[in-house]
Structure 1
Amino acid sequence: MIAPSWSDTALRQLTLAANHGKLWMTIAVVMSLIGKRQRRAGLRGLGSLAGASLVSNTVLKPLIGRRRPTLDPAHPHPLVRMPWTSSFPSGHSASAAAFAVGAALERPRTAAVLFPLAAAVGYSRVHVGVHYPSDVIAGAAIGGGVALAGQRLWPAVPTTAAQTGPGSAPALPRGAGLTVVLNSESGSSAGADTRILALLPDAKIVHWDPDYPLDEQISDDSRALGVAGGDGTAATVAQIAIDRDLPLAVFPAGTLNHFARALSLETYADTARAVVAGSAGTVDVGRINGCLFLNTAGLGGYPEMVRLRERLERRIGKWPAAAVALFRALRGHKPLDLVINGKRRSVWAIFIGNGEYRPRGLTPSNRSSLADGVLDVQYLRADRRLGRTTAIAASLFGTVERARVLGAIQADHLVIESHTGPILTAHDGEVTGPVDHIDLDLDPLALTVYR
Structure 2
Amino acid sequence: MGDPDPLPRPRPASPLHRFGEAFRQVGAHDRELVRRSAALPRTGADDLLTLLSRSADKSRLWWGVAAVLAVRKGPARKGALRGIAAVAGASAVANLVGKPLFPRRRPAAHEVPGHRRLRRPPTSSSFPSGHAASAAAFATAVAMESPRAGLALFPLAGLVAYSRVHTGVHWPSDVGAGLVIGAAAATLTRHWWPLRPEMRARTAHQAEAPLMVDGEDMLALVNPRSGIDGQDPTEDVRYAWPKAVLRYPDPGRDLRDQLAEEIDAHGGVRALGVAGGDGTVASVASLAAERGLPLALIPTGTLNHFARDVGVRSMPDADEATEGGHAVGIDLGEVEISGAGGPGHRWFVNTASLGGYPEMVRMREKLQEKHPKWPSAAIALARVLRRAKPLHAELNGETVAFWLLFVGNGTYAPKGFAPSRRPALDTGLLDVRYLRADVPYSRARFLLAMLTGSLHASHVYRQRDLPELHVRLHDGHRRVATDGEVGPLGREFRFRSRPSALTIYRNPDPAG
How would you bin the TM-score normalised by the shorter chain? 0.7 to 0.9
Q: How far did residue 423 of structure 1 move? A: 4.6
Q: In the aligned structure 1, how far is the partner of 2:47 from the partner of 2:468?
A: 65
Structure 2, unmatched stretches of 5+, are 1-35, 337-344, 507-512
1:335-359 Cα shifts (integer Å, max 9, x gaps): 3231x33433333432211123356
Q: How far did residue 129 of structure 1 move? A: 6.4
Aligned: 1:315 with 2:375:
yes
Aligned: 1:247 with 2:302:
no
Other-structure match for 2:244: 203
Asked whether the 8 Å contact 1:322–1:363 carries over to 2, the reply is: no
283, 286, 289: which one pairs with 2:333?
286
- How do residues 20-419 of structure 1 correspond to structure 2 at under 5 angstroms? 20=57, 21-35=59-73, 38-39=76-77, 41-67=79-105, 77=113, 80-81=116-117, 86-125=125-164, 131-151=170-190, 155=193, 158=196, 160-166=198-204, 167=206, 169=209, 172-182=212-222, 191-207=232-248, 210=253, 214-218=259-263, 219-253=266-300, 257-263=304-310, 265=312, 268=315, 271-272=318-319, 274-276=321-323, 280-289=327-336, 291-305=346-360, 307-308=362-363, 314-315=374-375, 322=381, 324-328=383-387, 330-331=388-389, 335-338=391-394, 340-358=395-413, 364-388=419-443, 390-391=445-446, 403-419=458-474
Give the TM-score, by structure 2 length: 0.70
Asked whether the 8 Å contact 1:12–1:124 carries over to 2, the reply is: no
Q: Secondary structure in 2 aligned to 1:234?
A: helix
Q: How far did residue 138 of structure 1 move? A: 1.6
Q: In the aligned structure 1, how far is the partner of 2:174 from the partner of 2:426?
A: 49
Q: How far did residue 151 of structure 1 move? A: 4.8
Asked whether the 8 Å contact 1:163–1:371 carries over to 2, the reply is: no
Compared CA separation, residues 201 and 48, structure 1 to 2 (3 A): same
Computing the radius of gyration from Cα coordinates, the structure with the larger value is 2
The amino acid that maps onto 2:214 is R
Q: In the aligned structure 1, how far is the partner of 2:400 from the partner of 2:50?
A: 59
Q: In the aligned structure 1, how far is the partner of 2:149 from the partner of 2:304?
A: 24
1:197-224 Cα shifts (integer Å, max 9, x gaps): 1443222214466485633522454443
Give the share of equivalent positions with the same residue, in percent: 40
Asked whether the 8 Å contact 1:424–1:432 carries over to 2, the reply is: yes
Q: Secondary structure in 1 aligned to 2:128?
A: coil
Q: How far did residue 383 of structure 1 move? A: 1.9
Q: In the aligned structure 2, how far is the partner of 1:92 from the partner of 1:131?
A: 10
Q: How far did residue 185 of structure 1 move? A: 8.0
Q: Secondary structure in 1 aligned to 2:353?
A: strand
Asked whether the 8 Å contact 2:141–2:186 carries over to 1, the reply is: yes
1:95-125 Cα shifts (integer Å, max 9, x gaps): 2101112333444431121123323433455
Q: How far did residue 250 of structure 1 move? A: 2.4
Length, aligned pairs only: 441
Give the TM-score, by structure 1 length: 0.78
Q: In the aligned structure 2, how far is the partner of 1:400 from the partner of 1:91?
A: 32
Other-structure match for 1:447: 502
The amino acid that maps onto 1:200 is W
RMSD: 4.2
Compared CA separation, residues 190 and 110, structure 1 to 2 (3 A): closer
Q: In the aligned structure 1, how far is the partner of 2:419 from the partner of 2:352?
A: 12
Q: How far did residue 25 of structure 1 move? A: 3.8
Compared CA separation, residues 12 and 156, structure 1 to 2 (3 A): farther
Q: Secondary structure in 1 aligned to 2:116?
A: coil
